[in-house]
Amino acid sequence: MKRLYYLAPHLKSAKAVFKDLLLARIDDHHVHVVSKDESQLVRENLPAATLLEKSDVVPAFERGLITGFALGLVLSFIGVVFAPFGIQLGGGAILAITLSGAFFGAWVSSMVGISIHNTHLKAFEKAIERGEYLFIVDIPKSRMTEVTTLMTRHHPEAEGEGSDPTVPAFP
């Protein structure tokens, strides 16, 4: 999946962009809109971006999972080598400590990441404050040319603002 970003300058344009994306058979669950006034998105039946799109929770989760896994693995090997309190750790204990470290790291990092704004959206903050509508569209890589062409032809006012290389394929 690729993630595309488009800025629509006003509400009328945003509604037209969303309609054309739906007509192009892009599921509304793969279209997210960020706006200064989220209540207006609800009134106009535009799909508001969720916390997953607006925060750094997913990248933070991934970093915490990896860091916690590594730290748990190191701690379990230290426990095997030094045998604290004369307790010998077996394979099950090593696995349990490692997985516990991964879980704890992912959980703590997610709690931090949920409170931080998505770093990818930082470039769009000024446009959103001016009243523009940011579209975040997740599409299969195979449809990238089709969607880019559609947006260029039908909505030249909606500026293409680039893409992210890959995103998780959310259901």
Residue 127 resides in a domain: no
65 and 109 together in one domain: yes
CB atoms under 10 Å from CB of 57, counted, come to 20
pTM over 0.85: no
Q: Check residue 169 and give its pLDDT.
A: 46
C-alpha distances in Å from residue 101, one per residue of 76, 108, 143? 10, 11, 39
Residues 135, 14 contacting (CB under 8 angstroms): yes
Pairwise pLDDT comparison (88 vs 60), residue with the higher score: 60
pLDDT tens digits along 126-171: 888 898 899 888 888 888 888 888 887 877 777 666 666 555 544 3
Would residue 67 count as lying in a domain? yes
How distant is the alpha carbon of residue 9 from its chain centre? 23
Q: Domain for residue 150, yes or no?
A: yes
Is there a single domain that holds both residue 73 and residue 37? Answer: no
Judge if 76 and 105 occupy the same domain: yes
pLDDT of 111 reads 92
Instruction: Please state the rounded mean pLDDT for residues 50-64.
Output: 88
Q: For residue 126, is it within any domain?
A: no
Domain check: are 93 and 45 in the same one?
A: no
DSSP characters over 102-125: HHHHHHHHHHHHTTSB-GGGGGGH
Q: What is the CATH number of the domain that holds 17?
A: 3.30.70
Q: Are residues 71 and 46 in the same domain?
A: no
pLDDT tens, 83-126?
766 677 777 888 998 999 999 999 999 999 988 888 788 888 88
- Domain interval for residue 14: 2-54+132-164
Total domain count, the chain: 2
